[in-house]
Amino acid sequence: MLEREDFKSHSEAIIQWINNYFKNIESLPVKSKVKPGDIYKLFPKEPPITGISTDEILRQVNDKILPGMTHWQHPHFHAYFPGNASTESLLAEMVTSAMAAQCMIWETSPSAAELEQLVTEWLASMLSLPKGMEGVIQDTASTATLASILTARERITNFQSNKTGVPGNLRIYTSAEAHSSIEKAVAISGIGTSNMVKIAVDKNMALDPIYLESQIIQDIKDGYRPCCIIATIGTTGTMGIDPILPIGKFASKYGIWLHIDGAYAGTAVILPEYHWMIEGMQYADSFVFNPHKWMFTQFDCSVLFVRNADELIRCFEVNPEYLNTSTRGLVNDYRDWGIPLGRRFRALKLWWVICSYGVEGIRQKLRSHIRFNTIFAEKIDNMREWDHVTPPFLNFSCIRWSPAECKNEEDVDHWNKILLDHINQSGKAYLSHTKVNGRFAIRVVLGQTYIQEKHVHQLLHIIIQAMDRVRANKQTI
Which residues would be at the binding site for ligand PLP (CB under 6 A)? 81, 140-142, 179, 181, 232, 234-236, 261, 263-264, 290, 302
Cis peptide before 413 (omega within 30 of 0): no
| Residue 263 CB, nearest approach to ligand PLP (Å) | 3
| Residue 281 CB, nearest approach to ligand PLP (Å) | 17
Q: How many helices (H) and strands (E) does the chain have?
A: 14, 11
| Residue 67 CB, nearest approach to ligand PLP (Å) | 25
| Residue 143 CB, nearest approach to ligand PLP (Å) | 7
| Residue 53 CB, nearest approach to ligand PLP (Å) | 36
Nearer to ligand PLP, 96 or 238 (CB): 238
Residue 313 CA to residue 324 CA, distance in Å, equals 15
Nearer to ligand PLP, 157 or 236 (CB): 236
Question: Mind giving me the DSSP string for 134-157?
Answer: EEEEES-HHHHHHHHHHHHHHHHT
| Residue 141 CB, nearest approach to ligand PLP (Å) | 4
Nearer to ligand PLP, 346 or 428 (CB): 346
| Residue 303 CB, nearest approach to ligand PLP (Å) | 11
Residue 69 CA to residue 25 CA, distance in Å, equals 12
Residue 256 CA to residue 112 CA, distance in Å, equals 33
Whether 406 contacts 412, CB under 8 Å = yes
Q: Which phi and psi (to 5°) does residue 229 adopt?
A: -110, 135
Residue 440 CA to residue 415 CA, distance in Å, equals 10
Nearer to ligand PLP, 81 or 337 (CB): 81
Nearer to ligand PLP, 260 or 418 (CB): 260
Residue 261 CA to residue 286 CA, distance in Å, equals 9
| Residue 62 CB, nearest approach to ligand PLP (Å) | 29
Nearer to ligand PLP, 142 or 297 (CB): 142
**Burial of 408 by CB count in 10 Å (0-12 exposed, 13-18 middle, 19+ buried)?**
exposed
Residue 339 CA to residue 25 CA, distance in Å, equals 37
Residue 41 CA to residue 1 CA, distance in Å, equals 26
Nearer to ligand PLP, 234 or 243 (CB): 234
Residue 411 CA to residue 127 CA, distance in Å, equals 44
Nearer to ligand PLP, 82 or 403 (CB): 82
| Residue 293 CB, nearest approach to ligand PLP (Å) | 7
Nearer to ligand PLP, 142 or 157 (CB): 142
Nearer to ligand PLP, 369 or 422 (CB): 369
Residue 245 CA to residue 283 CA, distance in Å, equals 8
Three-class SS of residue 25?
helix
| Residue 93 CB, nearest approach to ligand PLP (Å) | 17
- Alpha-carbon dihedral sign for residues 305, 307, 310, 314: negative
Nearer to ligand PLP, 26 or 183 (CB): 183
| Residue 72 CB, nearest approach to ligand PLP (Å) | 13
Cα 142-144-145 angle, rounded to 5 deg:
65
Residue 22: which of 95, 71, 84 has the closest Cα? 71
Strands 386-393 and 396-401: antiparallel
Starting at the edge strand found earlier in the chain, the sheet holding 439-445 runs: 386-393, 396-401, 439-445, 432-436
Residues with Cβ < 8 Å from 453, sequence gap 6 or more?
372, 375
